[in-house]
Amino acid sequence: MTGHSKVQHAVPVEQLTRLKPSKLGRHYHRVPQYIREVFAKHPRVISDYFLRNYRINLELLRVVVHEQREADPGRIYQGSSGKLGFSIERSLLTEALECYYGGSSRPNLSTPPVSSSEQRLSTRLGVDVSQIFLRAVLANDDSDELLPHDNDYEEVCWEYVVELQFTSHTSAQPASLFIHLDHQLVDELTSRLSGPIAPSSLGNPAQQLQQLPVRLSCVLTNQQLPLAKVLELKVGDILQTRLLERCEVRVNQQKLFRGSLFEEDGCLYLTSLESVEQP
């Protein structure tokens, strides 16, 4: 399936805003602005933590919300609102370590192996900073505890990556830490930004059930492979496949509809939906 190319502007490709079909009709576009507004109102919320616990004075330079980032987070945490990923640039980590142990010299700019002290500090910062970030964006002082999420078989899809860039009064060098947000946490933010539920649906239980969100999954293709070949797959491998003529629409792994797939203006649509009889 190929769409028609309609380039009628001189805007560089890297400056284009790409709309994801999964984000249409929701307040996803307000999430980056909301996060920037939160830290504009409270620019010292993370800096005060570093000053109080590690005796390093940081000033927030800017907040950038990325759609994606090539580097994966060093640590992932799970809470009731969703998953957060955390990573910190090593220059900021080593400077915090120097200040914590009373060093006055600038951190070493070479790249020696990561020490056990750096690993311990990074683990502690990951939990504390992620918790502070979560309380700030959710405006909740009683947010649940974040627990390490260690699952090598689950690939977490990050919707946004928040870059908080600081400068230190000691080194005067900019450095950043990164907070990754998964789709569940972004959905929680969008639900807060969309406003309260209309009161007309609060009295009738049947209407309340009809307002419950349901996630539809569309199976575009499937393929059967021997287990040996699956185990040989590596990141970057390409599997040749073919789209199904009739796609299945599922809810909680249960078949609900079948439909045909077509493309228009760069977006995919389902049409000719027909019910699937359940046994």
CB-count burial class (<10 Å; 0-12, 13-18, 19+) for 23: middle
Start-to-end CA distance of the chain, whole Å, equals: 34
* DSSP 8-state symbol, 29: T
Question: Does residue 16 have a pLDDT over 80?
Answer: no
Strand-pair category, 147-148 with 75-79: antiparallel
CB-count burial class (<10 Å; 0-12, 13-18, 19+) for 181: buried
Phi, psi of 187 (to 5 degrees): -60, -35
Inter-axis angle of helices 116-138 and 183-193, nearest 10 = 30
Mean pLDDT of 22-45: 82
Query: The whole model's pTM is what?
Result: 0.61
At 202 the pLDDT is 52
* DSSP 8-state symbol, 213: -
At residue 1 the predicted structure's pLDDT band, cuts being 50, 70 and 90, is very low
At residue 275 the predicted structure's pLDDT band, cuts being 50, 70 and 90, is confident
CB-count burial class (<10 Å; 0-12, 13-18, 19+) for 70: exposed
Model confidence pLDDT, tens digit, residues 208-260: 777 788 888 888 888 888 999 889 888 888 888 888 888 888 887 788 888 88
* DSSP 8-state symbol, 13: G
Higher pLDDT, 206 or 124: 124
Instruction: List the domains of the chain with CATH numbers.
Output: 18-193 (3.40.1550.10), 214-275 (2.30.330.10)
